[in-house]
Structure 1
């Protein structure tokens, strides 16, 4: 089974803490070719972990990554 994986994390995982802060809690792995489309058109992407969201932020080096996405990505690289 051939599986295409992504090369960079991206997300819009928001924490509802009662403030208007929209800083992502962590970033997810999504298909690279879907990132620009989502950012421009507002379409939703599906992360490796199954989370569905529109791309609104780009990760900075050292940004936290979803543990489930990271685990799945590592398994895909091995197999």
Structure 2
């Protein structure tokens, strides 16, 4: 049985609509966001989507339903 602490991930996305506005923002590991934004490396969202970070979420931004479902299912810290 693992006793690792789960850390709430930040959100980001690369899915865009025709006018360059993201459809959804994804949950990704917080420590990977800056590296991806600077180096162009890809991140993996909780839903499995793989992409480079190109934008950051603002409060009230739409969240990927699959990422939210996975995140809500994660066990909160004891």
Unaligned runs of 5+ in 1: none
Does structure 2 conserve the Cα–Cα contact (< 8 Å) formed by 1:5 and 1:73? no
What is the total number of aligned residue pairs between the two structures? 75
- 2:35 aligns to what SS in structure 1? helix
Taking structure 2 as the reference length, the TM-score comes to 0.83
**Structure with more strand by fraction:** 2
Taking structure 1 as the reference length, the TM-score comes to 0.82
Unaligned runs of 5+ in 2: none
RMSD of aligned Cα (Å): 1.9
The CA distance in 2 between the partners of 1:60 and 1:27, in whole Å, is: 9
The CA distance in 2 between the partners of 1:59 and 1:73, in whole Å, is: 16
